[in-house]
Copies of this chain bind each other. A is one copy, B any other.
Amino acid sequence: MATPRLRTRKLSEPTISRLPVYQRIAEGWMRRGMVRIDSRQIGELAGVTATTVRRDLAGLGSIGTRGSGYDVKVLNDRIAEALGHDRDYDVVVVGIGNLGRALVNSSNFLIRGARLVALYDADPTIVGTIVAGHVVASINEPMVAATVGVICVPPEAAQQVADRLVAADIHALLNFAPQVVNVPLGTAVHYVDFSIELQILMYHLNNGTGPLGGGLLHSLGIATPSPLRGS
């Protein structure tokens, strides 16, 4: 790769969370054979203003064409590049219950750049079965090297799994268990919590405020990570 760039300086956190949405829109447009899209159209689909879209995309360099909008192919490629999809990442998933299974079988979880390398579970009836083309290994076996560890176990087991992942030198965790985990400095944990979206939706329902209320069409919630910090 003549990898050009890295001129992408620093994108703001809100921008980073919107780029995957724009990319998904671009993919959809491509699939339908459309070639160009403008900032107003992206904005309507993504649930943000056209100006915000242009600001976000301007951060990737001048990728639009004045007077006619953005080429969806270019848009898709540049976003992929900015998000690092041109590098490969190895992903291990721990906990092959309904959720873990849903994730690894979903066509959209393991997007470009992410490569599933191993699955682990504690349940002996699950260990040894084949899921998404991989034999599920026992949680007690040594873990393979990977970049990202995905935790899909019950909350009681989350800390223990996090410890094992860290011990295996995996320092980027995506935690679907509703449980805060402690990790050493230098390890990133992102939390995904379904119920939080539901709760936010309920708040708006209750108050008639925000996304739901006054004439707004829909709200694009995107995900709901949560933070944390270690002891």
Cβ contact of A148, chosen from B91, B114, B198, B228, cutoff 8 A:
B198
Report the bound CA distance from A167 to B121 in whole Å: 41
Q: Assembly of this chain: how many copies?
A: 2
Report the bound CA distance from A43 to B203 in whole Å: 22
Report the bound CA distance from A45 to B6 in whole Å: 34
With a cutoff of 8 Å between Cβ atoms, the chain B residues found around residue A160 in the complex are none
Bin the interface of chain A by size: 35 or more
Check if B49 sits within 8 Å of A224, measured CB to CB.
no
Cβ contact of A222, chosen from B155, B211, B226, cutoff 8 A:
B226
Check if B211 sits within 8 Å of A49, measured CB to CB.
no
With a cutoff of 8 Å between Cβ atoms, the chain B residues found around residue A186 in the complex are 215, 217
Q: Closest CB-CB distance, A156 to chain B, in whole Å?
A: 11
Check if A221 sits within 8 Å of B111, measured CB to CB.
no
**Of residues 202 to 231 in A, which have CB atoms within 8 Å of B's CB atoms?**
202-207, 209-212, 215-231
Q: Closest CB-CB distance, A32 to chain B, in whole Å?
A: 12
Contact with B along A81-97 (1 / 0, CB 8 A): 01111010101000001
A98 within 8 Å of B (CB atoms): yes
A63 within 8 Å of B (CB atoms): no
With a cutoff of 8 Å between Cβ atoms, the chain B residues found around residue A193 in the complex are 20-21, 24, 108, 222-223
A172 within 8 Å of B (CB atoms): yes
Check if A196 sits within 8 Å of B17, measured CB to CB.
yes
Q: Closest CB-CB distance, A192 to chain B, in whole Å?
A: 5
Check if B114 sits within 8 Å of A202, measured CB to CB.
yes
A86's nearest neighbour on chain B, judged by CB, is: B206
Check if B226 sits within 8 Å of A220, measured CB to CB.
yes
Q: Closest CB-CB distance, A38 to chain B, in whole Å?
A: 14
Supplied contacts A197-B223, A219-B227, 11 more A-B pairs, CB within 8 Å: A14-B226, A20-B195, A21-B196, A46-B180, A84-B203, A174-B197, A189-B219, A191-B222, A218-B230, A220-B229, A221-B224
